């Protein structure tokens, strides 16, 4: 095969090409004709060329050399290419109007600079007019022309550099302003004003990149995707979108009190690599001595740019599709998001015309070339296009855009336009770290410890929520739509900012595979529950715990758990309790009446006691999510569902059946009138494993897991009998000065509710002895 190929090359090399090709003959012929014409008309041409040269030299000075260079380049390109190719290339170059204007501005600046250096002899009359009489004003004019050329040629980069310079100048001015006490109050106030003036361009550019027209030229869109995890063996093979599925982790024995954590080798290597960075950042320690995990355990995100040409093309397709059905509309705003792009369409006018015969000044009819009267159309009325006409063309717009489905929001809240949400050709990924590091989440976290990162909206804005204000959350979605990934993101977000003394979990996982990854965190009241009967017992215990907490609040004179915990020592506070149920349908099939009654009672009364419910199900039918449950869960999240009936069951409106899946969801807040479309956060298995390993390494002396059946038997002893461990608790009180509920858990190896009741009995005995 190699010999045949070499022989083929040899035969090709033996073919001789002619030295003068037909195209070259035509060029030489054209050159000969041009030279002949020059020789024939040489006397008049010499005078014209001389006058033109003198005028160009007087006007542009030394800059006339650039004209000769440009003419030579033009002739060179015309010589190298064919006539048709040359004109096609020239037409393509003429479309770059901003670059041509940038070149003109740069030429004017060069003329002014030459005039500053050598006067009119170098810069010509053009340079003298630009510079003027003052060299200072001339230099500023030259700088302004250079800036205009830079803006026309590279607008976004120029304003980005200006913003960086403005921020740097502002930082320097602020540094001098902090030194105002040494230089005097008057100078300090002046420096503060100067810093605000300097930072004004940067703040204005951050609010609105005004160098790009919103109506015609779209801004460069940046969203986030996850970095490649090829170096980590524990990372999933595909990181493009969150996919719900069974977790592939080592089996954990959740029935034994002492739970061991076996990290994977890849996760251990990642922990060692992050060691240096953790030492550089001071760890955050709770009042109880627990170290909170660092954000370095989560993965960063990289930026990806969407093509402005693609966004422009789709905007034109929307306008053309509406115009083809007689609907006048214009795309006035584009809000790109990680999953969909929202095109803001402003409805136009429905115009009515009448035919009018044209007449001259003498009221005579004007005739056309055929002898017929000239007729023109005159507008007699116009009315605004109705929103329902645009909404009715939803399928036609999807057909024009070749999209599987689109969603029309009419109107967009707070804006005078109709929002058309079109799926992106490349779906972005929203990671938990990208939301947690944002300003919205940090602001929410400063107000509440139960802040949750939900995802990003259709315009790329960060969406966060507070579980304490919800106060319960209902999640639905078909299999593979991202429901379990959303649960994992909520759990990880709460684990990042809460220790075991501030937050406790009760996890019910009938599937045995979804929540088992969190089986070794010290926040669990009891190991992850997989049995249906134990799940019912857990609901009963949670109701008793709610009643016990209400008695404690009443005795302390507090209205809620925040008022009760205010001013108390770490061991004396009541932790927040979060119940997570991964599949409600399985529990409803086992014990419908008791589960519905328990969930409704908890949802109605548990908010003040710090107990919150997060329930997920993949079957949002009326026999699973009854009307009583819906009434007590005002905050709901719906991922992609299979039918319109399911969407109306969970959201009381349509829209969830048109979602794209893989994290695309509708979020209905408590204070919102309509659901908001989001792309949910994605948490990988490697991130969950690192977070669980971090908390598992801080496990203290093990306390016995809570046994709900034992707790039910000793909840209210017959005849007012004291707890059998009360005497042992008294001995511990005599041996130690301070005794807390968690201390009794570790020493007596009992559950949290029994230890709390022992503390109550000890307080009652102490108050009884001190009384009369």
State pLDDT tens for residues 547-587. Answer: 999 999 999 889 999 999 888 887 788 999 999 998 898 88
The whole-number average pLDDT for the span 256-267 is: 42
Q: What pLDDT shows up at residue 191? A: 55
Q: What pLDDT shows up at residue 85? A: 66
The pLDDT > 90 percentage for the chain reads: 17
Between these two residues, 494 and 591, which has the higher pLDDT value? 494
Least confident of 99-108, 111-120, 244-253, 660-669: 244-253
The pLDDT > 70 percentage for the chain reads: 70
Distance (Å, whole) CA 341 – CA 310 = 11
Q: Helices 752-770 and 726-735 sit at what angle, rounded to 10 degrees?
A: 70
Are 573 and 499 within 8 A, CB to CB? no
| pLDDT exceeds 70 at position 772 | no
Task: Please report which confidence band the pLDDT of residue 476 belongs to, taking 50, 70 and 90 as the band edges.
Answer: very high
Q: What pLDDT shows up at residue 2? A: 45
The whole-number average pLDDT for the span 279-301 is: 76
The whole-number average pLDDT for the span 243-250 is: 36
| pLDDT exceeds 60 at position 727 | yes
Q: What pLDDT shows up at residue 706? A: 60
| pLDDT exceeds 90 at position 172 | no
- Phi/psi region, residue 655 (left: phi>0; alpha: psi -120 to 50; beta: rest), is left
The whole-number average pLDDT for the span 60-67 is: 71
How are beta strands 340-347 and 503-508 bridged, if at all?
unpaired
In 52-84, which positions are buried (b, 16+ CB within 10 angstroms) versus exposed (e)? Answer: eeeeeeeebbbbbeeeeeeeeeeeeebeeeeee
**Residue entry with tokens 């990289």:** 302
| pLDDT exceeds 50 at position 259 | no
Task: Please report which confidence band the pLDDT of residue 226 belongs to, taking 50, 70 and 90 as the band edges.
Answer: very low
Task: Please report which confidence band the pLDDT of residue 475 belongs to, taking 50, 70 and 90 as the band edges.
Answer: very high
* R_g of the chain, CA atoms, integer Å: 38
Which tens digit of pLDDT belongs to each residue from 383-434?
Answer: 888 888 888 888 888 888 888 888 888 888 888 899 999 988 888 888 899 8
Paired strand residues for 611: 577
Distance (Å, whole) CA 722 – CA 761 = 8
Tokens found for residue 294: 């660092």
- What is the reported pTM? 0.57
Are 143 and 150 within 8 A, CB to CB? no
SS3 readout for 701-744:
CCCCCCCHHHHHHCCCCHHHCCCCCHHHHHHHHHHCCCCCHHHH
Which tens digit of pLDDT belongs to each residue from 302-337?
Answer: 766 778 888 888 999 999 999 998 888 999 999 888
**Residue entry with tokens 């006007």:** 59
Q: What pLDDT shows up at residue 199? A: 54
Q: What pLDDT shows up at residue 213? A: 38
Prior bond of 505 cis (ω within 30°): no
What mean pLDDT, rounded, does the chain reach? 76
Tokens found for residue 4: 């045949």
Which tens digit of pLDDT belongs to each residue from 594-647?
Answer: 888 899 999 999 999 999 999 999 888 888 888 888 888 999 999 999 888 889
């Amino acid at each position: 095969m190699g010999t045949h190929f070499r022989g083929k090359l040899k035969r090709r090399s033996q073919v001789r090409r002619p030295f003068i090709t037909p195209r070259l003959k035509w060029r030489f012929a054209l050159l000969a004709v041009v030279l002949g014409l020059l020789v024939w008309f040489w006397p008049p041409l010499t005078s014209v060329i001389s006058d033109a040269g003198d005028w160009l030299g007087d006007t542009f000075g030394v800059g006339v050399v650039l004209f000769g260079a440009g003419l030579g380049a033009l002739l060179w390109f015309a010589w190298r290419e064919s006539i048709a190719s040359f004109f096609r290339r020239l037409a393509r170059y003429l479309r770059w109007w901003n670059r041509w204007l940038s070149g003109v501005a740069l030429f004017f600046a060069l003329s002014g600079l030459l005039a500053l250096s050598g006067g009119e002899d170098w810069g010509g009359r053009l340079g003298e007019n630009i510079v003027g009489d003052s060299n200072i004003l001339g230099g500023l004019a030259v700088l302004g022309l250079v800036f205009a050329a830079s803006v026309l040629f590279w607008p976004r980069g120029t304003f980005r550099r200006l913003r960086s310079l403005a921020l740097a100048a502002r930082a320097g001015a602020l540094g001098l302003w902090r030194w105002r006490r040494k230089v005097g109050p008057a100078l300090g106030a002046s420096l503060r004003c100067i810093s605000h003036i300097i930072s004004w361009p940067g703040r204005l550019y951050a609010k609105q990149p005004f160098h790009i027209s919103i109506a015609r030229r779209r801004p460069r869109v940046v969203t986030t995707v996850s970095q490649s995890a090829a170096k980590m063996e524990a990372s999933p093979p595909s990181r493009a979108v969150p996919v719900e599925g069974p977790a592939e982790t080592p089996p954990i024995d959740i029935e034994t009190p002492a739970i061991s954590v076996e990290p994977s080798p890849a996760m251990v290597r990642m922990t060692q690599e992050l060691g240096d960075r953790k030492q550089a950042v001071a760890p955050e320690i709770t009042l109880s001595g627990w170290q909170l995990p660092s954000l370095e355990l989560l993965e960063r995100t990289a930026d990806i740019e969407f093509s402005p040409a693609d966004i422009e093309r789709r905007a034109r397709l929307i306008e053309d599709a509406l115009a083809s059905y007689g609907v006048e509309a214009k795309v006035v705003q584009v809000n790109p998001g990680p999953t969909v792009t929202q095109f803001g369409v402003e409805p136009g006018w429905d115009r009515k015309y009448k035919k009018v015969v044209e007449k001259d000044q003498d009221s005579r009819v004007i005739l056309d070339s055929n002898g017929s009267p000239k007729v023109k159309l005159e507008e007699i009325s116009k009315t605004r296009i109705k929103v329902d006409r645009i909404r009715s063309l939803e399928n036609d717009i999807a057909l024009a855009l070749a999209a599987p489905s689109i969603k029309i929001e009419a109107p967009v809240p707070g804006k005078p336009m109709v929002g058309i949400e079109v799926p992106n050709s490349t779906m972005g990924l929203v990671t938990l770290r990208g939301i947690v590091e944002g300003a919205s989440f940090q602001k929410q976290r400063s107000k509440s410890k139960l802040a949750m990162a939900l995802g990003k909206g259709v315009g790329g804005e960060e969406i966060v929520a507070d579980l304490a204000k919800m106060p319960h959350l209902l999640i639905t979605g078909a299999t593979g739509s991202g429901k379990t990934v959303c649960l994992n993101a909520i759990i990880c977000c709460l684990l990042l900012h809460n220790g075991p003394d501030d937050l406790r979990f009760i996890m019910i996982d009938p599937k045995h595979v979804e929540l088992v990854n969190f089986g070794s965190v010290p926040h669990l009241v009891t190991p992850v529950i997989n049995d249906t009967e134990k799940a019912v017992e857990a609901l009963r215990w949670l109701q008793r715990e709610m009643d016990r907490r209400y008695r404690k609040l009443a005795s302390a004179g507090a209205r809620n758990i925040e008022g009760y915990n205010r001013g108390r020592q770490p061991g004396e506070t009541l932790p927040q309790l979060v119940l997570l149920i991964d599949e409600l349908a399985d529990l409803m099939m086992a014990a419908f009446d008791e589960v519905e009654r328990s969930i409704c009672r908890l949802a109605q009364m548990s908010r003040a006691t710090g107990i919150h419910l997060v329930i997920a199900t993949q079957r949002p039918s009326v026999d699973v999510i009854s009307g009583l449950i819906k009434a007590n869960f005002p905050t709901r999240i719906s991922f992609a569902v299979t039918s319109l009936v399911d969407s109306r069951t969970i959201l009381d409106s349509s829209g969830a059946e048109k979602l794209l899946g893989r994290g695309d969801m509708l979020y209905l807040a408590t204070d919102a009138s309509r659901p908001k479309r989001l792309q949910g956060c994605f948490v990988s298995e490697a991130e969950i494993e690192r977070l669980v390993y971090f908390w598992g390494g801080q496990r203290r002396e093990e306390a016995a897991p809570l046994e709900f059946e034992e707790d039910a038997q000793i909840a209210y002893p017959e005849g007012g009998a004291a707890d059998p461990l009360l005497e042992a608790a008294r001995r511990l009180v005599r041996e130690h000065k301070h005794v807390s509920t968690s201390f009794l858990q570790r020493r007596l190896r009992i559950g949290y509710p029994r230890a709390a009741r022992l503390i109550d009995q000890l307080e009652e005995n102490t108050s009884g002895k001190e009384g009369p």
